[in-house]
Structure 1
Amino acid sequence: MTTSPLVLGPILRYVDEVSATIWVETRESATVTVSTTHGTTSARTFGVHGHHYALLQVGGLAPGTVTPYSVEVDGTRAWPDVDSSLPASVISTLEPGRPLRLSFGSCRTSVPHDKAGNRAHGVDALRAFALQLATRDRVVEWPDLMLFLGDQVYADSTSTAMQQFISARRDIHEPPGTELADYEEYAHLYRLAWSDEANRWLMSTVSSAMIFDDHDVRDDWNASLSWKRKVEATTWWHGRIVAGLASYWVHQHLGNLSPAGRADDEIWRRIADHDDGSELDLSDVLDEFAARCDREPRSYRWSFCRDFTASRLIVLDSRAARELDPARRALVDDVETAWLDERMRGGFRHLLIGTSLPFLLPPGLHHVESWDEAIAEGAWGRLAAGVGERLRQAFDLEHWGAFQRSFRQVAEMATEVADGKRGEAPESVTFLSGDVHFSYISEVERSSGSRIVQAVCSPIRNPMHVALRTFNAVLAYGIVTKLAARLARTAGVGGPPFHWSGIEGPWFDNCLASLVDTPDGLRIRWVSGIVVRGDYLRPESKEVAAITVEPRRSSIASPASTVSRAGGRMRNRRSAR
């Protein structure tokens, strides 16, 4: 059996009406060629710490078309795999006037898909979705874009396979132990995450966009100034953050950029301007760049924005862009907030904001986080501040609710859009999120204007421990919410700028969500994977929930009166465990 010259990919990234971006990693320095019926596109690889990558822009495509493609490496056919039973990879360009179809989710571990892997991590919802698409099942709407909202890889909670790779390189009894230490280990982690045959095919034929969350680097990344000072005092953190951001730029961020966005990117311009026929080595350049991004977060933007036919998608960095100085503490710093403010506008049917952390947590949990932020910052004195900081780091109390200044700023923006104060009001302002390892949908309680909705899909494959499920479910409802709100008030936290409540959830299945703009409203559907007849390698899809958020019909409509559920009820709800 011959070894493919491709290590990873092809991965279909930014696609518009007439062009597509394709990313690959090759085994050696090489020239990569993508061929379609419209012609060929070639590019030389660039190198990073002994790894070789290429990003190719395929042009000359027609809007709304489906075009098969193949990949050659130094003239050798590398893709499609002739031994694969999966369909040919294709490029589906956007069609003018067609409403957006989007899939989204977060938190996916890379472990085997056998009985043992499923027992510990549940069925991979992404793999089940890929296999369903591969059958050309017409019940499934082919997405225009898959949006991965963080924790594509776990740098701090590694699998057995990853630990074997690490232990072959260094002593895992020395810091950082079984966590990642450098770029070589990150490159292997991405290989484990993206090599599964079904998911590799899916990513080769459906466009994707991505944003990091904490586990792409480390749990609680930038939770507080205290956290940052503690981790920066270790011997290994600098290497981790440099490798994490450098590998993220290569594997995830670069493909988020449009051709115009890449032309403005300082690192990409080095690649584009390199024309002597040799492979450009970016190792030192990327390391210096990543170190600067950590040291000076305002020097580079990881967030991005895309406009589709009737929808705007804003994807927000809620990790690297934080301001941790207690006097100016913010989930997104002033520069990033100003960038977001410019893009929070009406004039679209739907305004979608992708943020890895849910903007609207279950209310009880939101109030607990706002209380903890207040006492950790000194509302109850120095002794209580220490307790608050320990609670913050132990229980991951560092979402939007724990950054009240940012929460209120974005709440005001969303309300102004929904009230038509920033252009023609859309039908909905919808936050898409992950992170919390349970899924739900909630809505701001409003009697007029656009709907403000929070939809969460988490995890794709990394279920919450059973013992924590009840705790999180309780925080979503009833008396606990009222008690948590009173607790926050005792620490001087003012009431939220609006109130919200759950439409459905939480549920804890491994899921991938889909969002479709329909004439009836925004239809959101959560699908998980199930094993049928013991066939662990070919899981089937099962609908967990389906909800249509309809446009408001009158100024006195209640949120529940314009939300329809699949079949009038939740279907086949079952724990992934």
Structure 2
Amino acid sequence: MDPAQQSAQESAPESVVESAQDSPPDAIGPLVLGPMLRYIGETDATVWVEAAASAAVTVHVDGRDWTAPTFAVKGHHYALVVVDGLEPGGAWDYAVSIDGVQVWPEPDSAFPPPRIRTIDRERPTRLLFGSCRTSVPHDRKGHQTNGVDALRTLALALARGEEDWPDLVAFIGDQVYADETSEAMRKFIAARRSLEEPPGEEIKDYEEYSHLYQLAWGDEANRWLLSTVPSCMIFDDHDIRDDWNTSWTWHEEINRTPWWHERLMGGLASYWVYQHIGNLSPAQLADDEIYARVLAESRSGGASELDLTEAVFDLVRRTDRHPEVYRWSYRRDLGDSRLVIVDSRAARVLEPQHRSMLDPDEMRWLDEQLTGDVEHLLIGTSLPFLLPPGLHDLEAIDETLAMGTHGRVAAAGAEKARQSIDLEHWAAFNDGFVEVFEMVMEVARGQRGRAPASVVFLSGDVHNSYVAEVVDARTRHGASSRIVQAVCSPIRNPMPRMVRVMMSAFARGLVRPMRFVAQHSKDVPDPRYPWVVTDGPWFDNCLAQLTVQGRDLSIVWRGGEIRDGDDAHPVLTTVASVRLPGPTA
């Protein structure tokens, strides 16, 4: 039995606690938010904490201690404790103290102790992934409007020892919704400013983002899960605003609003603090131009807390103007697999005549990461790389029209459609799409090291889940790897039922007419490596689990169900499962 699973079974009561339904953690004590177990390697890990005041944060593991001072941003206090010198493949309970006072686990917690579980190269990877999670209460009303939170449902099942322990959870977009706020968030905003002034009920600045993260991660069950399962993250549009960086026209229009700059700065600065630094390994933290200051201050033993406000906001200002100055993408090595997480929002090239999902610097970096010599190469990108074929052709046609190939009127209409119905995925940035596809095919053909059994894109965004695969990759294109797209969305933000029916029919019905239009237009690019949707779509709230089984993969999408009116304890259900056998000679 997995050590972490055994610990959960031994520690959890038969019925795990009545979890807090909607309130963030109590800020009166020294711990505001967290701890969150973020990076995990073979011998090291990082633990993120938000504290109520300047303090020293200590992580205790098996009689050893690691301490880091807090740093400040906009009057908030954070620490990222690097825990190193661990044994590969080990598992240990840990505790967190602030200025010598233990704050986690809480003494009356009904959840098992949090654990640090290092990577074991011989242990098959078990990876959770998904996107799009709103922050509304976990009560009857919240379940009626937004469905059951798949993340919280899994947390309760893990705490009861009913599920195998995952190695990592990858949140691939829309961890928070800055443009669709909950009642609790609107109440907080109204206490600071009038909801009648721009941007109204949307998030305005860093302070509001900080409260938004507390609402997103503060309920008891999810907070426990994030303290004991390592996580990595990447933003998508709603983390900042719907359609963020859709096009040059969108960029010009949003920059004419009086509130956008403050919103963007607050969104990116808070993302750096709450999400990004936890993605980085200890070595990458030491090389980070901002976090290196925290490490230097810690080594010098400075008496006062380091305030990073000016440095972080200067960074995001520069990044907004020149995306190449900072990289949000990163990679994680997971023993038998490699996970490459790609920023498909902030590094876009938006010039109308030269559009790409990735700028040249980001493309070069991705080129370096996409190599073989691993069993499975996993590429996380918030926007699906392989859309259903009909939708792909529709976006490619729209991009062609928006570039003015058929006149100004058609271009204006195509731009309006691009923004109104979100035609801004990889298909709408064809140059970048083609370039990345060629990289992937070189990996699959064994031209970049031993070909992996599979190259799998992991994505979210589209509020439905499905699997797609390149057709006859071996016989038609000489590939030794399967090339697969797996999508899991939403974790908690379902489409209305009628929209689901329309979208499902729309996706199927578009395939032939869009292919006909694309094939009969010299301006619309024809994909060199065709693919088909093999499974799905499913529209349930769910969280996917990808499990490596040698050269085979299995993916299971799990959701939650309320039974007997017990809203506090949803039951884990299986939405769908797909097995992907490794390629045969």
- Into which bin does the TM-score normalised by the smaller protein fall? over 0.9
Change (3 A) 1:330 1:520: closer
In 1, Cα distance between the equivalents of 2:180 and 2:240? 10
- Matching of residues 60-79 of structure 1 within 5 Å: 60-79=85-104
Is 1:325 matched up with 2:351?
Answer: yes
- Matching of residues 158-307 of structure 1 within 5 Å: 158-274=181-297, 275-307=301-333
Aligned residue in 2 for 1:150: 173
In 1, Cα distance between the equivalents of 2:501 and 2:442? 36
Scaled by the length of structure 2, the TM-score of the pair is: 0.92
Aligned residue in 2 for 1:17: 42
- Give the Å deviation of 1:328: 1.9
In 1, Cα distance between the equivalents of 2:248 and 2:533? 32
Deviations 1:510-540 (A, max 9, x none): 0000011103611111000111211111111
Q: Answer yes or no: is the 8 Å Cα contact 2:544–2:555 preserved in 1.
A: yes
- Read off the aligned partner of 1:126 and give its amino acid letter: L
Aligned residue in 1 for 2:414: 388
- Give the Å deviation of 1:494: 2.2
Change (3 A) 1:450 1:475: farther
Is 1:104 matched up with 2:129?
Answer: yes
Aligned residue in 2 for 1:452: 483
Residue 476 of structure 1: SS of its match in structure 2? helix
Aligned residue in 1 for 2:20: none
Aligned residue in 1 for 2:435: 409
In 1, Cα distance between the equivalents of 2:366 and 2:254? 29
Scaled by the length of structure 1, the TM-score of the pair is: 0.94
Percent identical pairs in the alignment equals: 54
Aligned residue in 1 for 2:556: 525
- Read off the aligned partner of 2:122 and give its amino acid letter: G
In 1, Cα distance between the equivalents of 2:500 and 2:542? 16
- Give the Å deviation of 1:141: 2.2
Deviations 1:398-452 (A, max 9, x none): 0001111111111111111111122111111100000000000111102512110
Q: Answer yes or no: is the 8 Å Cα contact 2:47–2:82 preserved in 1.
A: yes
Deviations 1:350-400 (A, max 9, x none): 110000000001111111111111101112111110000100000010000
- Give the Å deviation of 1:2: 9.9
Change (3 A) 1:93 1:493: same
Q: Answer yes or no: is the 8 Å Cα contact 1:363–1:475 preserved in 2.
A: no
Give the CA RMSD over aligned residues.
1.3
Change (3 A) 1:419 1:475: farther
Q: Answer yes or no: is the 8 Å Cα contact 1:375–1:491 preserved in 2.
A: no
Deviations 1:28-55 (A, max 9, x none): 1111111121411111110111100000
- Read off the aligned partner of 2:341 and give its amino acid letter: V
Aligned residue in 1 for 2:30: 5
- Read off the aligned partner of 1:187 and give its amino acid letter: S
Aligned residue in 2 for 1:513: 544
Deviations 1:175-217 (A, max 9, x none): 1111111100000000000101000000000000000000000
Q: Answer yes or no: is the 8 Å Cα contact 2:353–2:403 preserved in 1.
A: no
Aligned residue in 2 for 1:561: none
Deviations 1:138-165 (A, max 9, x none): xx22111100001000001111111111
In 2, Cα distance between the equivalents of 1:250 and 1:300? 15
Q: Answer yes or no: is the 8 Å Cα contact 2:172–2:381 preserved in 1.
A: yes
Q: Answer yes or no: is the 8 Å Cα contact 1:14–1:209 preserved in 2.
A: yes
In 1, Cα distance between the equivalents of 2:182 and 2:27? 28
More displaced 10-residue stretch of structure 1: 415-424 or 317-326: 415-424
Q: Answer yes or no: is the 8 Å Cα contact 1:44–1:277 preserved in 2.
A: no
- Give the Å deviation of 1:136: 1.2
Q: Answer yes or no: is the 8 Å Cα contact 1:150–1:356 preserved in 2.
A: yes
Change (3 A) 1:364 1:2: closer
In 2, Cα distance between the equivalents of 1:372 and 1:300? 31
**Once superposed, which parts of structure 1, at least 4 consecutive aligned residues long, lie more than 4 Å away?**
none
Unaligned runs of 5+ in 2: 1-25, 475-479
- Give the Å deviation of 1:488: 3.3
Q: Of 507, 517, 537, which residue of structure 2 is paired with 1:487?
A: 517
In 1, Cα distance between the equivalents of 2:359 and 2:551? 37
- Matching of residues 347-366 of structure 1 within 5 Å: 347-366=373-392
- Read off the aligned partner of 2:352 and give its amino acid letter: P
